[in-house]
Structure 1
Amino acid sequence: MDYDIFISGAGPAGLCLARALSGCGLTIGIADPQPLSALENPAYDGREIALTQRSAHQMRALGLWARIEGYEPTAFSPLRDAQVLDGMSRYAMRIEHTLSRHSELGWLVSNHLIRRAAFAELRGAQDKNGDITLLAGESVAHAHTDAEGAHVRLASGKALSARLLVAADSRFSGTRRAMGIGADMHDFGRSMLLCTMTHREPHHQVAWEWFGYGQTLALLPMNDAPDSGAHRSCVVLTLPHHQLEALEAMEAPEFGRALTARFSERLGAMELASTRHLYPLVGVRPHRLVAERFACVGDAAVGMHPVTAHGFNFGLLGITALADAIRTAQSSGGDIAAPRLLAQYERGHRRATLPLYLATNFVAQLYTADAGPARLLRGAALRLAQNFPPFKRAVAASLSGGH
């Protein structure tokens, strides 16, 4: 065998899994089609990641938290409260941090900083333990497994073998597809535009999810800009793709005025403070998470709608569960890819993610329906939820990770 474990994909999920497994006596290979320079210094991609308290704890344990603070001392923004708005009404369902056991529901941090820190931790583990091989500029072209192991052919033609193959190469995983595992994909028919905006009025560290008529707006509160002190947020605008293309093409001043109007001036004048990025809105649920000597992690295991901001949190949850199971098997001399081990991982991760995946898709469809009856139902559901404390506590526990 070339490796004990071979990971397809060096995004945050793949990098964190390799980091979590380093030092326990296993050889680890990890491949990604991006060049080494892009993995080492990932570009800003518009995405702010909402971390639960559990995820924050896991990132500290992996060393990512301290590295990110070393890059940018103000990188982590507290997510104090959250609110959900419907249409033009100012009435909101408010989820306060006091419903949890913490002074904040969670934290926000830029995705490119997570990627940078995860790569640095991988390099550190590689230097310390000598058990990780990184293959940059490579991707899995073909893969199959049998009782003896996983057999992989890379796009370059190189053949590799491993005791366990792990897909961590996005919700549209080519490795998962190569293994013959299909997925249910819910295409919402819209795209998201993400960017950082400054604004005159403070956000008070409150996240917004605003289901308007014909558009959905999310606001993720960032710390004030360290150079100017300007209030700033990550803004996520969801619209049909052609409408977003027109917005993306606007000059910065015109774009700022357009976003100010879309937010009904509730935050005052807004100005563009970053590049703009478009992403298709597609939820993905694989039919299986494991096969013989094969497992999916990260977005390859479940591709969430971003409305609940749980994608990376679920990724860390699955990585921790799989890494703990593998470490236990390795320390006891067991098979790190035993059918029972992989089946337990699949059951646990399905149990943790499937209910919220289905509920999220339902809520997203309900609150993007603009017909008259749907508008009435949307408003009534929001008022009912606001006045039902057990539901709000459950939402707060979900947002904070129950840690």
Structure 2
Amino acid sequence: MTPHSDVLIVGAGPAGLSLAIALAQAGFAATVVEQQPADVLADPPPDGREIALIHPSRATLQRLGSWALLADTEIGTIGQAQVHDGPLDRHSALQLSPPRGAAAGDALGFIVPNHALRRSAYAVAARTPGVRILAGMQVTRVAANGAQTELDCVPALDGTSTPQRLHAPLLVAADSRFSPARRQLGIGAQMTDFGRTVIVCRMRHTLPHGGVAHECFGYERTLAVLPLPGDAEGGHPLCSVVVTAGAGDAATLMALGAEAFAAQVQAQLQHRLGPMALVGDRFAYPLVAVYAQRFAGHRCALLGDAAVGMHPVTAHGYNLGLAGVERLTAALASARQRGQDIGSADALAPYAREHHRHAWPLYQGTNAIVRLYTDARPLPRVLRQLVLQGARRLPPLQSAIVGQLTGEPPPWMRALALRP
């Protein structure tokens, strides 16, 4: 069988498209198969999600060429983060700033709308030699147990067509945390359903945010407020609001009118940003974290949310995806240089091992934070206060928390990265 490309990628999200670009830049040919049509990929609608990016992620996007296609009004900067437990008192809040040694004026991270990341990734991938995008195609079968992988797909709007069969030495599943391709490859996943829903939206406010992000842990709801660039039309300050609540409470919040919803957010934020108003729509997403049992096998690998689907409280989902892009591309380039079959388990093992060592402490640390800060019982309430107050006084603990946010845990946390 003559391969159609070196790598078949299922899923044209930002991670899958970024991998295709990186592979093409490294001299590989990649074919991306995606169910959404090309016009939606080229101009995706807003979905309410604002993605926090760490510095290594920005560097990756700059190298791939997609960062340059983002408008200035689409890039927000997080200069500082404040973590509150209960009432918003700046004297008791944990203040998180860029680590020591950072350049003057450096930031904790950046905020970019998810639809802008999708748009820019598609724009670069569509014009990159060596990248082929099959849009509007539904994957019906994948198999990775022979000399090459096989992928069958049909037009998404016409399931009765004769399947088109593609072959390649390697197949990468990058098709969401509920990945059908991962299941067909026989790879299971550990799933944690938090029984909660996240509501995301944009809000306009009257007082400047100063580039400060707030994480407010209430006993019933968690509120995150992320600084965004000002309104392009009126110059009004804007922020991204992320409310996490139980399913019933979330349904009630979604049913509120725009003014009533804004009043609820404004009250939990204790009017820190002055009067607030909803901008655009609200979007609700169920919270389920996912960690695949393995990240690679014979002729197959997992990337992005198909490998690790994170709870958004530490904002590492897409950052892990981009880190995976770098590691998988490097592993394949190294295998090719050594004359290895890029789809062999031996060639893919370094990617799986290193990505696990990076992702596992972040995943477990994030889930531990979620469990601690969503438990309203008296003992967890005391423990979370001790954690915050201890972090204010103990630099190693604070460095661990900053490491969770920046994606660079200190060495002692990395040493705890044991295979689940």
Instruction: Using the TM superposition, give the Cα deviation of residue 16 of structure 1 relative to its aligned residue in structure 2, in angstroms.
Output: 0.2
Is 1:235 paired with 2:257?
no
> Greater CA deviation, 87-96 or 31-40?
87-96
Quote the Cα distance in structure 2 between the aligned partners of 1:223 and 1:177: 40
AA matched with 1:223: P
Is 1:134 paired with 2:133?
yes
Is 1:92 paired with 2:93?
yes
> Greater CA deviation, 56-65 or 133-142?
133-142
Instruction: Using the TM superposition, give the Cα deviation of residue 83 of structure 1 relative to its aligned residue in structure 2, in angstroms.
Output: 1.3
Instruction: Using the TM superposition, give the Cα deviation of residue 249 of structure 1 relative to its aligned residue in structure 2, in angstroms.
Output: 2.7
CA shift digits 1:158-197 (9 cap, x unpaired): 2222110000001111100111111110000001000001
AA matched with 1:113: A
- Is contact 2:88–2:216 with CA below 8 Å preserved after alignment? no
Alpha-carbon distance change, 334 to 11 in structure 1, aligned in 2, over 3 angstroms: same
Quote the Cα distance in structure 2 between the aligned partners of 1:287 and 1:294: 13
Is 1:199 paired with 2:202?
no
CA shift digits 1:80-125 (9 cap, x unpaired): 0111111125221111125451421111111111100000000120
AA matched with 2:49: R
The aligned counterpart of 2:144 is 145
Quote the Cα distance in structure 1 between the aligned partners of 2:6 and 2:40: 26
Quote the Cα distance in structure 2 between the aligned partners of 1:137 and 1:167: 17
- Is contact 1:5–1:164 with CA below 8 Å preserved after alignment? yes
Is 1:272 paired with 2:278?
yes
- Is contact 1:100–1:397 with CA below 8 Å preserved after alignment? no
Instruction: Using the TM superposition, give the Cα deviation of residue 35 of structure 1 relative to its aligned residue in structure 2, in angstroms.
Output: 1.1
Is 1:165 paired with 2:171?
yes
- Give 5+ residue unaligned stretches, structure 2: 410-420
The aligned counterpart of 1:9 is 11
- Is contact 1:141–1:175 with CA below 8 Å preserved after alignment? no
Is 1:215 paired with 2:217?
no
Quote the Cα distance in structure 1 between the aligned partners of 2:121 and 2:328: 18
Quote the Cα distance in structure 2 between the aligned partners of 1:98 and 1:30: 38
Q: How does 1:174-193 map to 2 (within 5 A)?
A: 174-193=180-199
The aligned counterpart of 1:21 is 23
Instruction: Using the TM superposition, give the Cα deviation of residue 154 of structure 1 relative to its aligned residue in structure 2, in angstroms.
Output: 2.0
Normalised TM-score (structure 2) = 0.90
Quote the Cα distance in structure 2 between the aligned partners of 1:221 and 1:323: 33
- Is contact 1:260–1:268 with CA below 8 Å preserved after alignment? yes
Quote the Cα distance in structure 2 between the aligned partners of 1:243 and 1:85: 21
AA matched with 1:310: H
> Greater CA deviation, 46-55 or 198-207?
198-207
Instruction: Using the TM superposition, give the Cα deviation of residue 200 of structure 1 relative to its aligned residue in structure 2, in angstroms.
Output: 2.0
Quote the Cα distance in structure 1 between the aligned partners of 2:369 and 2:265: 24
Quote the Cα distance in structure 2 between the aligned partners of 1:40 and 1:344: 34
Is 1:326 paired with 2:332?
yes
| Partner SS, residue 137 of structure 2 | coil
AA matched with 1:20: A
Alpha-carbon distance change, 24 to 387 in structure 1, aligned in 2, over 3 angstroms: closer
- Is contact 1:99–1:393 with CA below 8 Å preserved after alignment? no
AA matched with 1:148: A
The aligned counterpart of 2:123 is 120
The aligned counterpart of 1:111 is 114
Quote the Cα distance in structure 2 between the aligned partners of 1:380 and 1:23: 48
CA shift digits 1:284-309 (9 cap, x unpaired): 01111112100001111101111111
Of residues 33, 38, 44, the one that matches 2:46 is 44
| Partner SS, residue 308 of structure 2 | coil
| Partner SS, residue 233 of structure 2 | coil
Is 1:337 paired with 2:340?
no
CA shift digits 1:303-326 (9 cap, x unpaired): 111111111111100111111221
Instruction: Using the TM superposition, give the Cα deviation of residue 362 of structure 1 relative to its aligned residue in structure 2, in angstroms.
Output: 1.0
> Greater CA deviation, 209-218 or 387-396?
387-396
The aligned counterpart of 2:368 is 362
- Is contact 1:100–1:400 with CA below 8 Å preserved after alignment? no
- Give 5+ residue unaligned stretches, structure 1: none
Quote the Cα distance in structure 1 between the aligned partners of 2:126 and 2:152: 25
- Is contact 1:54–1:402 with CA below 8 Å preserved after alignment? no
CA-based RMSD of the aligned residues comes to 1.7
Alpha-carbon distance change, 197 to 278 in structure 1, aligned in 2, over 3 angstroms: same
| Partner SS, residue 328 of structure 1 | helix
| Partner SS, residue 347 of structure 1 | helix
The aligned counterpart of 2:269 is 263
| Partner SS, residue 26 of structure 1 | coil
Instruction: Using the TM superposition, give the Cα deviation of residue 251 of structure 1 relative to its aligned residue in structure 2, in angstroms.
Output: 2.5
> Greater CA deviation, 320-329 or 212-221?
320-329
Aligned residues between the structures: 396
Instruction: Using the TM superposition, give the Cα deviation of residue 278 of structure 1 relative to its aligned residue in structure 2, in angstroms.
Output: 0.6
> Greater CA deviation, 378-387 or 168-177?
378-387
| Partner SS, residue 161 of structure 1 | strand
AA matched with 2:122: F
> Greater CA deviation, 53-62 or 143-152?
143-152
Quote the Cα distance in structure 1 between the aligned partners of 2:119 and 2:367: 31
AA matched with 1:111: N
Is 1:283 paired with 2:289?
yes
- Is contact 1:80–1:105 with CA below 8 Å preserved after alignment? yes
Instruction: Using the TM superposition, give the Cα deviation of residue 36 of structure 1 relative to its aligned residue in structure 2, in angstroms.
Output: 1.1
Of residues 226, 232, 249, the one that matches 2:232 is 226
Instruction: Using the TM superposition, give the Cα deviation of residue 242 of structure 1 relative to its aligned residue in structure 2, in angstroms.
Output: 2.7
CA shift digits 1:334-366 (9 cap, x unpaired): 322222121111000000000110111011011
Instruction: Using the TM superposition, give the Cα deviation of residue 226 of structure 1 relative to its aligned residue in structure 2, in angstroms.
Output: 2.4
Quote the Cα distance in structure 2 between the aligned partners of 1:399 and 1:215: 20
| Partner SS, residue 193 of structure 2 | strand
Aligned-pair identity in percent equals 40
AA matched with 1:141: T
Query: Taking CA–CA contacts closer than 8 Å with sequence separation of 6 or more, which of the two structures ends up with the larger relative contact order?
Result: 1
